Amino acid sequence: MNLLTFDTHAKLHESGAGIITGLVQTNPRAVLGLATGGTPIGIYEEIVKSYQRGVVRFRDTTTFNLDEYVGLPEDHAESYRNYMNMHLFNHVDLPRAQAHIPDGNAADAQAECAHYDKLLEQAGQIDLQLLGLGHNGHIGFNEPDHALISGTHIVELREETRKANARFFDSMEQVPSHALTMGVGTILKAKMILLVVKGEDKAEIVHRALTGPITTDCPASLLQTHPHLVVLMDSEAGRLFQ
Ligand code: PGA
């Protein structure tokens, strides 16, 4: 595991973007696993700047997002499809047909999960999986539980996750109760994992996830088993490692 701590967000975002664009420069056909949430926004901004400078192209790249809310219209401001359009897809030349996100409005959610796993299988291994970290140790929307699921599945969001995400909605009632998420098996199969963690409020959970026992009570603790894990933290999140 390679832990990197940054004293400014600008440096963290540049480093994260540099790792992703560097991979696409050397392997334009890379398969990227992408994340949403507050954490990666600055990284996407830096990737867009690199694209605008003409130093990276995404024409041959394929992406798979980790998750999507169930029941939000695609064009809803807080759907993850809309988030990705706003922060990345509208600004780069990645063909939309190569930008995959689970369909949270599919009539048959189970069939949609199976379809997503089929697409992942056809794409081969994810080269780099970008991840944020939930306050309860979730990755994607794989919430702490007595058992975790390997493939894409429907999940009921925990109360603490809905509360954490309520900041993006007008009220708690509007936060969806369910989501579709890639499973931990798929996440751990990625060749490289780039975990990004920011803020004092994540200091304890990132320390527990990376140094504590490996347990399904903290899904991110499974990342300790990954042979190529890179962790980017700001100094607040990384406080307990110093
Ligand atoms: P955040 O979410 O980046 O908005 O803090 C991270 C997560 O829940 O995975």
The tens digit of pLDDT for each residue in 74-128 reads 889 999 999 999 999 999 999 999 999 999 999 999 999 999 999 999 999 999 9
- Ligand 1 centroid–CA 30 distance in Å is 24
pLDDT of residue 242: 73
- Ligand 1 centroid–CA 120 distance in Å is 23
Residue 73 has pLDDT above 90, yes or no: no
The Cα 86–Cα 109 span in angstroms is: 25
Burial of 7 (0-12, 13-18, 19+ CB in 10 A): exposed
pTM, two decimals, is: 0.97
The stretch 130-159 carries a mean pLDDT of 97
Residues of the chain with pLDDT > 90: what percent?
98
pLDDT of residue 74: 82
- In this structure, the residues whose C-beta lies within 6 A of any atom of ligand 1 are 37-39, 132-134
- Ligand 1 centroid–CA 15 distance in Å is 19
The Cα 155–Cα 17 span in angstroms is: 30
Catalytic amino acids? 67, 136, 138, 143
**Do 23 and 30 form a contact (C-beta atoms < 8 A)?**
yes
Substitution candidate for ligand 1 out of 39, 67, 87, 218 with most atoms within 8 A of CB: 39
